[in-house]
Amino acid sequence: MKKSTKVIAFLMSMFLVAALVFTGCDNKQQPAADNNSSASDTESVSETTDAPAKYKVGIIQFMPHPSLDNCCQGIKNALDDAKIDYDVQVGSTASAVDDCQNYAARMASSGEYDAIIAIATPAAAVAYSAVRNASADIPVVFCAVSDPGAAKLVESLEKPGNNCTGTSDAFDIGSQIQIIKAVQPELTKLGVLYTTTEPNSLSQLKTLKEECEKNGIELIEQGINDATELPTAAATLIPQVEAITNLTDNNVVDNMSTVLEQAKAANIPVYGSEIEQVKNGCLAAASIDYVALGEQTGKMTIDILGGQSAAEMPVSVISDSTPVFNTDVAKELGVEIPAAYADAEKVTTAG
């Protein structure tokens, strides 16, 4: 019995020594990294990595003009900060609607994009339609759409209801009229040019009429169907008025030089709807910061990519304005900047 116990103890000791030797050898032979990891190993690594998800955003800008360029720059600023990839497509002045329809249809059906950002009402309308036609689950985030409800992009500003939300550039028309009244206190007839097919222009026109009525001003309207009609429309309007004010109408803003040239010949001021128009020759404006508007649009898109619902995200309405005057134009017209606007931002005409 004692002999048997000793044998067993000896065998167990030998087994323990062998196990320790084997374990030590195994640790020495274990490679620092395994380049042939199994699928399960790879999945395990990815689950514990905090690398950001990769997204791609399509940006459609209705046409090239300074206001929309500033919106696009703001959007790119936000996406660049978040390291999100994007493509930018800009409609040509001559065929903006057709171009944007083609861009939107391609983006909606390609399967490459996680969101589409559309700058200006016409671009937003075709992007939203393209996504619906393609039955694609792609959120559309609009930028600089003055009246998203009238454009049928949302059910309400508070709860869009569709896979579509964004930012609204609510032109501060009340402040614009106050600037005009301060500069031209005796003004009785104010002109405006607008595109009859732009929902944002029709919405702003209604507000402009109301503000003019409150201030004893007769509003003379001149509508156009497209940009080719603008020279004739301006020539018809200018002899009837003492000043012209702009809306955020894409056709008019894109062809502002035509209006400014004719107004200058008649020695009447043109009031812009934002700072870039003032830099290009308008006398003054109650201006929205369109770069900031674009940045807000980009941030909303990032939140949606992160899991927030576009249908539940309220439209962000930007209406705060800053008065801005062009000192070169004021001098040419013999206009004094009113004392009430002594602290307003001053710019000169762009070279």
Average pLDDT of the segment spanning 11-38: 39
Q: Pick the more confident residue, 166 or 226.
A: 166
- Position 39 pLDDT exceeds 90: no
Lowest mean pLDDT among 35-49, 207-221, 293-307: 35-49
Could you count the other beta carbons within 10 Å of the beta carbon of residue 214?
A: 10
Q: How far apart are the first and last CA of the chain?
A: 111
Specify whether the CB–CB gap between 304 and 163 falls below 8 A.
Answer: no
**Taking the CA of residue 77 as centre, how many other CA atoms within 13 Å lie in the half-sphere pointing to its CB?**
14
- Position 153 pLDDT exceeds 80: yes
CA distance 233 to 231: 6
- Report which of 274, 283, 228 is spatially closest to residue 255, judged by C-alpha positions: 228
CA distance 327 to 324: 10
- Report which of 262, 177, 171 is spatially closest to residue 222, judged by C-alpha positions: 262
- Report which of 321, 329, 204 is spatially closest to residue 270, judged by C-alpha positions: 329
CA distance 289 to 53: 31
- Domains (ranges, CATH) in the chain? 56-171+290-318 (3.40.50.2300), 173-287+321-347 (3.40.50.2300)
Average pLDDT of the segment spanning 277-292: 95
The pTM assigned to this predicted structure is 0.79
The first and second tokens of residue 73, run together, are: 């720059």
- Position 268 pLDDT exceeds 80: yes
Q: How confident is the model at residue 52 (pLDDT cuts 50, 70, 90)?
A: low
CA distance 126 to 74: 22
In 3-state terms, the chain is what percent helix, strand and coil (to 5)? 50, 15, 35
Strand partners, 164: 140
User: Could you give the residue ranges of the DSSP H alpha helices within 111-229?
Assistant: 121-133, 173-183, 199-214
Residue 326: φ, ψ to 5°: -100, 110
Residue 351: per-residue pLDDT:
62
Q: Give tens-digit pLDDT for 175-232.
A: 999 999 999 999 999 999 999 998 889 989 999 999 999 999 999 999 999 999 999 9
Q: Give tens-digit pLDDT for 130-141.
A: 999 999 899 999
